[in-house]
A and B are shown apart, each in its own frame.
Chain A
Amino acid sequence: MNNKTHIPDGFLSPSVFITAFVITIIFWAISFKKTKLTDKQVPIMGLLTALFFAAMMMNYPIVGGTTAHLLGGASLGLILGPLAGCISVTIILVLQALLFGDGGLTTLGANVLNMGIIGIFVPCALFLLMNKAVKGTGKKLYTVIFVSAFVGDVLAAIAAGTELGLSQPTFQYGLSVAVPAMAINHSIIGAAEGVVTMILIGTLLKLRPDVLEQSPILKRLSIFQNRKEVEE
C-alpha cells in the first residue's frame, strides 16, 4: 500500500525548492505575526486541522489508475481566514512529513506553497470578489463557494505541476507533461473539494453561524452584514 500524497524529497531541483521555501517563509512570517484568533475560533482551528488531516487519508480514484485527495484549503481559508488557514495546513504538512514520510523536508516549502498558500489564498480572494459581485445568498452563495474551492484546487495542482516541470532533470517530465497531467486529474478532486466546502460551510451556517461571523472572509456575507446594520 502506497499512501504518499505530497511531493517527496528528491523530486524537486534545489533552485525550485529553495525559491518555494523563500516565498513560504514570507507567508509564514506574516501569518504567525498577524493571526489573532477569537475564543470561538481556537477550538474550531484545532478541529478543522484534525478533520482535514483525516480527510487527506482518503484517496479518491481519478483517472488512469491514479488517485487524489482533498486539500481542505478552501474550507480552512474561508472559515478561519487565510492566515490562520495557512498555519493550519502547515501543521498538517509538517507532521505528515516528520511522522509519516508523506511529503518531504526539502519539499515542505513547495507543498505549503501549493496547498497552504495557493490552495487557500486563491479561494479566499475569489470568494471575496464573487461575493461582492453577486451579494451571495442561497444558491448563489453555494455557487460562489464551489467555484472558489474548485479553482483553488486546480491552481494548487498546476503550481505543483509547474514546480515538478521546472525541476528537470531531477524530475524527468517537463512542463508540457506535468502541468496538464496535474490540472486535468485534479479538476475532478477540485469538484469534490467544492462539494465538501459547500457542505461544511452550509452545516456551520445552520449550527454555528457565530463561528462563521468571526471569520475575516465569511463575516462579509450579506446575512451577517444585514444583522450588523440592524444592530446599529
Chain B
Amino acid sequence: MAATNKKTTQKTIVIGLTVALIFVLIGVFVLSYSMETLDKQAEQLGSEEKPLFNPPFADYNIPELDNVWGGLIVGIMGTLLLFVVSLTVARLLRKKKS
C-alpha cells in the first residue's frame, strides 16, 4: 500500500514537473515579452523603478548570456529550485504524527 502511494506520488511529480517545464519553454520562446499595464503608464511618464540591489539573474537571464538560452537555463533551474525549496518548507509544515 505504502509502495503504491509512493509510486503514485512520484508519477504525479514527474507529470507536474514536465508540465512546468513546458510552461518554461512557452514562457521563454513564445510568451516572453512582458510589459505590465502600470509599467507602461509609468514608462510614459518617465517613472523608473529603484532597485535596492542587483539580483544575480536579473530579467530571468544569465548576465553573460542574456539570450533565450540563458532564459531557458534560468527558467529550468528556477523551477527546480522552487520545487526543492517549497518541498523543504512543506516538510517542515507537515502534521506531526501522534
Contact = CB atoms under 8 A, between A and B. Distances in A.
Contact of A106 (B17, B36, B52): B52
Given A9-B51, A10-B49, A39 B94 contact: yes
A45 B32 contact: no
A61 to B, nearest CB: 8
B8 A58 contact: no
Interface string B49-74: 11111111111110000000001001
A221 interface: no
A99 B78 CA distance: 9
B50 A10 contact: yes
| Candidate in A38, A50, A58, A185 with the most chain B CB atoms within 10 angstroms | A50
Interface residues of B, number: 64
A137 interface: no
Contacts of A69: 34
Interface string A156-196: 00001100100000011100011001100110000000000
A55 interface: yes
A67 B35 contact: yes
Interface in A33-81: 35-51, 53-55, 57-62, 64-69
Interface in B1-56: 5, 8-9, 12-13, 16-17, 19-21, 23-24, 26-28, 30-42, 45, 47-56
19 contacts: A3-B34, A11-B49, A32-B93, A36-B96, A44-B12, A49-B85, A50-B79, A51-B23, A53-B82, A57-B75, A59-B32, A66-B37, A66-B40, A91-B82, A100-B78, A101-B55, A104-B51, A105-B53, A208-B8
